[in-house]
Amino acid sequence: MADSQNKSITSLDRARGSVLGLVAADALGSTVEFTSPEQIKQKFGPAGQTEMRGGGLLNWAVGDYTDDSQMMLCLLESLVETNRETFTGLDVADLGRRFVAWYDSHPPDIGLTVSNALARLKSGTPAAFSGDANPESQANGAVMRCAPVGVLWHRPAQRFELVRDSLLSAAPTHRSPVAAGACMVVNVMIAELISGQTLETALAQARAAANPEWQKVLDEWNAAGRPHRGNSGWALSTVLTALHCIITTSTFEEAVIKAVNGGDDADTVGAVTGEIAGALYGYSAIPARWLKVLKDREKFIELATELFGIGENNPVAS
């Protein structure tokens, strides 16, 4: 069972943990994306994939991260750069421009939903409307990158802004209640954990803030005994499996290893597990042997630290 509350971890360490936890888990999962749990065991032995090895179907370098962290970096840099001088929250047009620049760099790993939406954005649809609003469009490409909004709006008095910007951060690529609502659920958890709340309180607060679609999903998952829901590319299963992996383990390392060894969309299930578990256990709990080789580690730490500071000091709400 996950550690419920450890008062010795600072809010800043938890904020850094959410951002770096996402990146580290994404990099760890890149090795086993698109493979089955059985294939992972065959290749790496009974303990499975536990080290930064790179490789995988897309032949990543050791410590490199995939589209999950690349898009998260767009959101992180957008929030820092647009709020450094004048505090306004998320500027979705700025975020959209960064997503298009990333799309134009021809990233090797890009989901279909994201690719279609960014093509619409590039051809002139405003960023707030370029995501697919079809209720059946439920992929996990927005929730995999949402953590910076939770870091910025971590203070309890800023719940309105947290929910607003969580949905808005999804909008350029995902506008369905399930896909965008997933960002709200995960970011409320991240904000609660950064504030030092227990995992159970964070979950209860996320359920309370969630839209009806997500309240139903969480209630059914709770009633079913909080099971693993597989590692598919859907937002529902991704978030529930991430929560299962955190609740059934006791450390950041165990949670993330359990998540990526489900294979399939391993990097993204890892990323979502990492962004929540990182806020629970803090940056200091991420294994040093992973951080040592993690690409752009210092850049992510600096940006996460600055964003957390903007959230702490902003004049919008007390």
Instruction: Retrieve residue 285's tokens.
Output: 């709990």
The minimum distance between CB 268 and Mg ion, in angstroms, equals 5
Q: Rounded to whole angstroms, what are the CA distances from 225 to 6, 221, 247, 258?
A: 25, 7, 11, 18
Whose Cβ is closer to Mg ion: residue 83's or residue 241's? 241
The minimum distance between CB 158 and Mg ion, in angstroms, equals 29
Q: How far apart are CA 19 and CA 228, in angstroms?
A: 24
- Amino acid sitting at position 126: P
The minimum distance between CB 29 and Mg ion, in angstroms, equals 8
Whose Cβ is closer to Mg ion: residue 263's or residue 282's? 263
Backbone phi, psi, residue 72, to 5°: -60, -40
The minimum distance between CB 69 and Mg ion, in angstroms, equals 8
Whose Cβ is closer to Mg ion: residue 28's or residue 168's? 28
The minimum distance between CB 160 and Mg ion, in angstroms, equals 31
Whose Cβ is closer to Mg ion: residue 144's or residue 163's? 144
Instruction: Retrieve residue 207's tokens.
Output: 């359920």
Q: Packing angle between helix 159-170 and helix 92-104, nearest 10 degrees?
A: 30
Give the SS3 label for residue 280. helix
CB atoms within 10 A of CB 179: 29
The minimum distance between CB 92 and Mg ion, in angstroms, equals 22
The minimum distance between CB 124 and Mg ion, in angstroms, equals 27
Instruction: Retrieve residue 129's tokens.
Output: 């409307």
Whose Cβ is closer to Mg ion: residue 140's or residue 176's? 140
Q: Rounded to whole angstroms, what are the CA distances from 25 to 21, 115, 122, 257, 303?
A: 6, 23, 30, 8, 18
Whose Cβ is closer to Mg ion: residue 23's or residue 168's? 23
Query: Is-contact 180 167, C-beta < 8 A?
Result: yes
As to burial, measured by CB atoms within 10 angstroms (0-12 exposed, 13-18 middle, 19+ buried), residue 177 is middle
Whose Cβ is closer to Mg ion: residue 63's or residue 311's? 63
What are the residues binding Mg ion (CB under 5 A)? Answer: 66-68, 109, 267
Position with the least CB separation from Mg ion:
66
- Amino acid sitting at position 153: W
Whose Cβ is closer to Mg ion: residue 30's or residue 197's? 30
Q: How far apart are CA 233 and CA 142, in angstroms?
A: 11
The minimum distance between CB 212 and Mg ion, in angstroms, equals 29
